[in-house]
Chains A and B, each alone.
Chain A
Amino acid sequence: MLRVAFLKLTSCSGCLNQALVALLASEDLLSKYEVVYFTELGTISSDNYDLVLVEGSVSNTKQERELEEFRARSKTLVALGTCAVQGGVQSLRIGEDIEEVKKTVYPFPEKIDVYSEPKPVSDIVKVDFFIQGCPVKGEAVVNLLRKYAIGGLPLILPESVCSECKRKGLTCVMVSQGIPCMGPITVSGCGALCPSFQRGCYGCYGLRTWDINVFKLEKFIDKVNKLGAPGSMIQTALRGYGYKSFKYVKGR
C-alpha cells in the first residue's frame, strides 16, 4: 500500500475534497492507497509518506516549517490547486495594508498570524508535480494517483482554455458574442466549463505564465477592456488567480 498524506495550508478545502471524493469513488485506487494523514480529520501521523498532496498557499512561518517537515518525510510532493501553485484567491490582499485586511475579515484580528503576501508552495519547498484548478478536477487527481501507483507521473500539458473549447466544438463566446473571456491566457484543465455555459472564463485555473509575460498581458487586457469588461475584472481575476503574474501587473 502506498501511504498518502493530504496536507491543507491556507485554502478552502475544495481541492482536498475533490481529491478525497475522487479517491473514494475509485475502487482500483482504494486497494493501492492508504490515507495516513488528512489535516481536516485531525489524524496525526509522523511517519514517512510516499505521496503528499498539498492544498493551499503559505501564509506564515509556522506553515513554512510544517511544509518543510512534510517535504522531508515524503518521497513525492504534489501542489494541488491554484492556491498551492500560484497563491490563489488569498493573493487578493497583496498591496493592501495587512492589518486593515485582518480587521475587515476577523472579529479578533490580533489572533491572525499571517504575512501580507501569500506564497505558493514552490517558494518554500521543492515540488515534484502540480495540478492546477480552483478547485482541481477529480479526474486529474485520479489520473495522478493511477500513474503514481505504477511508478510514474502524468504529463503536464499547459494549454489554453480555448484548446478545450475548440476540441469540444463550442462556439467562442468572446468572438461570437463579445463576452469578455480570459480563456486565451488561462491554463487548461477545466474542460472549458464556463464557456460551455455561455459565460466568459475568469481565469480560475491560473495564468499561462509560459507564454504570457507582462507585455502580452497588457495587450490582452487592452483587448478585453475594449469589449467592455468591467474595468476591474481582469485586474481582480489576475490578483486572485495569478499570484506570480500579479507581480508583473503591480508595477503598472
Chain B
Amino acid sequence: MGSVYDLDRLIRILRENLNLQLQGYRYHAGRVSWGEINGIADLPLSVEDYVEPGLYRLKEGYRFRHSSVSPKVFLLPSEQVFLYESEDYARVKAPDTSEMRQTALFGIKPCDRRAIEVLDNIIGSKNPVYASRRKSIAAIIVEECLEPNNNCFCGAVGSGPSIEGGFDVAYARLDEKRVFFKYGSELGRDILVKLDLKPAGEREVNEYREKIESTRELTSRAFSRVMREVQENLLSKARDKDLWLKVSEDCVGCGNCNFVCPTCFCLEFEYSINEQNMGVKTAQWTGCLLYTYGQVAGGHFRPELYTRYRHFVLHKFVFYPKQIGLIGCVGCGRCITWCPMGIDLRGSVNSVAQGGVNAGK
C-alpha cells in the first residue's frame, strides 16, 4: 500500500536506478497527450475525463482514463521515414532505427496493454520502426481502473479493468491519496522491494477487489449477446447491405476512429523528392474509413463508405481473431468518444448482431 507520492518515488527508481526514459500519458496545459514523464507533475493525477459518444471534457478529479492518444503514438508513430533513394537507385539508405533509448511505459491502462499485445501479433518484427521501439521497452507500469468512463467496455472483450500478466508493476488508485500496488514480474518485484511499501491490509485488499469487480461489471454490459454469438451474427450479416448502410448512415468517413484506435495499424506510403533529388519514402497513418484506403493503381475496391465502416467493425471482431486469435477491439471506447458524429461502435455491433436495425439502439 502506498500513496501518490510513492508514484513519484517509483518514477525516480525507474529513471535513476534503472536508467530508463519514461513514456506515458502526460498532463500539460489543460490536456493529456503522450510524452515523456519526468516526475509526478507530468502525470494526469488531478484530472478526470468525462465522455459521451462524440464528446470529451477534461475535468477536475482523479480518475483519468483516456485521451485521444494511446501507446500506439510511441510504438507506431504517425509518420515514419522508411527509405531514401537516389534517382538511379544507387544510394539507398534506410533511417537508423537502432538508437532507441531503453524505455518504461508508465501509467498505461490494462486495455492499452492488450492493444500492445494485438499490435505485437499483427506487426511484430515486420516493421523495423515498430520492432526497434518495441524492443526498447524494458518495463511496463500499468494503472488499473477502479472506475470506468462512459465509453469503456473492456469487460465485454476481456481486456480489463484489471491486469493479470504482461506487466512489471501495476497500481490502482483507491481514492485521491491511497494507491494499491502489485507486481507482475521479477523486475516488478525488485522495484516494489526498493519502494519498501507497507503491506496492504485485508480491508484495503477487499476494497480494491470490490472496485475492480464493480468496474468489470459496468464495462461488461456493452453487448446484448455473448461474444461468440456476436461474432457469428456479424459474419452472417456481412452481406446485408441495407443493414450496414443504416448502421453507417451518420458516418462521414473522416477516419478519426482509426487514428485514435490503439490497435489500428494501417500505414500508407507517400513518395516525395527532396532538394538533393533523393526519393523519400514516408509511411503515415491511414485507416479503413478513409477514401484512399481502398484505392489501388487503376481502381478502388471500397469506394462506398458503408463497406469501409463494415470493414472496421468486422476486422475488429471477426478478422483479427482469425488473423491472430485475439479480438482486435480492446474496448477502450476511444473511437466512440472521438467520432465527431458520435457514432457508437457498441450500438453498431448490437444492431447487426441482433439482426434488427433498431434493436440495441
> Contact residues of A with B, CB < 8 Å?
26-28, 143, 146-147, 150, 155, 157-160, 162-163, 166-169, 171-172, 174-176, 178, 181, 183-185, 208, 210-212, 215-216, 219-220, 223
- Given A168, A169, A220, which contacts B341 in the complex, CB threshold below 8 Å? A220
> Given A150-B87, A162-B256, A166-B259, are A175 and B275 also a contact pair (CB < 8 Å)?
no
Contacts of B87 in A (CB 8 A): 150
B98 contacts chain A at the CB level, 8 A cutoff: no
List, sorted by A's number, 28 A–B pairs whose CB atoms are closer than 8 Å. A26-B275, A146-B273, A150-B273, A159-B255, A159-B291, A159-B292, A160-B290, A162-B255, A163-B259, A166-B259, A166-B285, A167-B285, A168-B78, A169-B78, A171-B31, A171-B33, A172-B68, A175-B55, A175-B339, A176-B56, A183-B254, A183-B340, A184-B256, A208-B253, A210-B291, A211-B252, A215-B249, A223-B340
B357 contacts chain A at the CB level, 8 A cutoff: no
C-beta contact mask, B254-286 vs A, less than 8 Å → 1, else 0? Answer: 111001100000001011110111000000111
Given contacts A166-B256, A181-B340, 14 further A-B contacts (CB under 8 A): A143-B272, A150-B87, A158-B292, A160-B252, A162-B340, A171-B67, A172-B340, A178-B55, A183-B254, A184-B252, A215-B249, A216-B252, A216-B305, A223-B340
Contacts of A169 in B (CB 8 A): 33-34, 69, 73, 78
B183 contacts chain A at the CB level, 8 A cutoff: no
- Given A26, A147, A157, which contacts B292 in the complex, CB threshold below 8 Å? A157
CB distance from B241 to the nearest CB of A (A): 16
CB distance from A227 to the nearest CB of B (A): 10
Q: Is the beta-carbon distance between A212 and B292 smaller than 8 angstroms?
A: no
C-beta contact mask, B15-58 vs A, less than 8 Å → 1, else 0? Answer: 00000000000000001011000000000000000000011111
| A-side interface mostly | helix
| Nearest 7 A/B pairs, CB to CB | A166-B259, A184-B254, A167-B78, A211-B253, A146-B273, A160-B254, A162-B254
For B292, give the chain A residue with the smallest CB separation. A157
CB distance from A228 to the nearest CB of B (A): 14
Q: Is the beta-carbon distance between A174 and B259 smaller than 8 angstroms?
A: no
Contacts of A162 in B (CB 8 A): 254-256, 259, 340
Contacts of A210 in B (CB 8 A): 291, 303
B79 contacts chain A at the CB level, 8 A cutoff: yes
Query: What's the tally of chain B residues with a CB closer than 8 Å to chain A?
Result: 47
CB distance from A160 to the nearest CB of B (A): 4
> Given A175-B337, A219-B341, are A163 and B255 also a contact pair (CB < 8 Å)?
yes
CB distance from A62 to the nearest CB of B (A): 36
- Given B68, B268, B271, B341, which contacts A171 in the complex, CB threshold below 8 Å? B68
For A158, give the chain B residue with the smallest CB separation. B291
Q: Is the beta-carbon distance between A219 and B249 smaller than 8 angstroms?
A: yes
Which has the most chain A C-beta neighbours within 10 Å: B34, B259, B290?
Answer: B290
CA distance A157 to B295 in the complex (A): 9
B338 contacts chain A at the CB level, 8 A cutoff: yes
Which has the most chain B C-beta neighbours within 10 Å: A158, A169, A181, A183?
Answer: A169
Contacts of B305 in A (CB 8 A): 211, 216
- Given B57, B73, B249, B259, which contacts A176 in the complex, CB threshold below 8 Å? B57
Which has the most chain A C-beta neighbours within 10 Å: B57, B251, B273, B277?
Answer: B273
CA distance A174 to B354 in the complex (A): 32
Contacts of B69 in A (CB 8 A): 169
